[in-house]
Amino acid sequence: MDLKVMEIERLDNGVVTIGINSPPANTLSAAVQSDIQQVLEQFGEDSNTRVLVFHSANPKIFMAGADLGSMGSSEGGMGEGVKFVQDLFNQLESLNKPTIAAIDGHALGGGCEFALACDFRVMGGGTIGLTEVTLGLIPGAGGTQRLTKLIGVAKAKELILLGTRLSAQEAQAVGLVHRAVEPGNALQESLKLAQQLAAGAIETMGLAKQAIAAAELPLEEGLAVERQAFVKAVSSPEAREGVGAFMQKRKPNFLQVNPTVSK
């Protein structure tokens, strides 16, 4: 990988942290987008990586919105740029292993949209929200879709149309983040969650993510995806370990199974 603004650290049990370090504001620049793409391509296919944790090197800002100065001026160029980021965040959301956004500092606009594409959001200090309307814009990287599906139409309209910034506690109360923690502790708490996830059946979690995503389809189509995922899960090494451990009245050791994670 040729990363420009992200720093990678491998921890125990296949947990990988990705630190975003693009001063002064971690804007969703071309460099940040390129690094995200490389990270997803590298670690999405890496069987030794079990959980990804994204955090910021800047204690005041997790990630800001788009770099307005570098946005295309023509309608076609703008549309293509937005489509690229939408596809990138779709790739993040559909990754076949758990992802965590460790949010300390502001996550506004595109930063909030990035966090929404992660499986878990653990937040300490700063604020979070889709504030684009206050600039005469709207969210363009999936925010109108993911936030609405997450917290419902009425609340999404309130937050988006007013450009509301929420604290960690407020965001947890409406379901925007999973855990509100003390400011400065988001990464520490995220790593605890990451280790808990890493000790589990990661390949099975990827199949569960596929089935959960299919809940947006008509029921019969969603059930078909669930059925196919279930069949794959039943025949997996993780299932053999999990069921075997249950029968033997012991704790399963999914880390020892260490399956090759595939899409």
Catalytic residue, from 64, 105, 113, 140: name it. 113
Catalytic residue, from 65, 105, 109, 110: name it. 110
To the query of whether residue 175 is one of the catalytic residues in this protein, the response is no
Catalytic residue, from 25, 44, 64, 66: name it. 66
To the query of whether residue 132 is one of the catalytic residues in this protein, the response is yes
Residue whose C-alpha is closest to residue 111's, from 242, 13, 20, 213: 20
Q: What is the DSSP string of the chain?
A: ---SSEEEEE-GGGEEEEEE--TTT--B-HHHHHHHHHHHHHHHT-TT--EEEEEESSTTEEE--B-GGGS-SSHHHHHHHHHHHHHHHHHHHT-SS-EEEEE-SEEETHHHHHHHTSSEEEE-SS-EE--GGGGT----SSHHHHHHHHH-HHHHHHHHHHT--B-HHHHHHHTSSSEE--TT-HHHHHHHHHHHHHTS-HHHHHHHHHHHHGGGS-HHHHHHHHHHHHHHHHTSHHHHHHHHHHHTTS---HHHH------
Question: 251 phi and psi, to 5 degrees?
Answer: -80, 135
To the query of whether residue 158 is one of the catalytic residues in this protein, the response is no
Catalytic residue, from 132, 189, 203, 241: name it. 132
To the query of whether residue 66 is one of the catalytic residues in this protein, the response is yes
Residues carrying an active site annotation: 66, 110, 113, 132
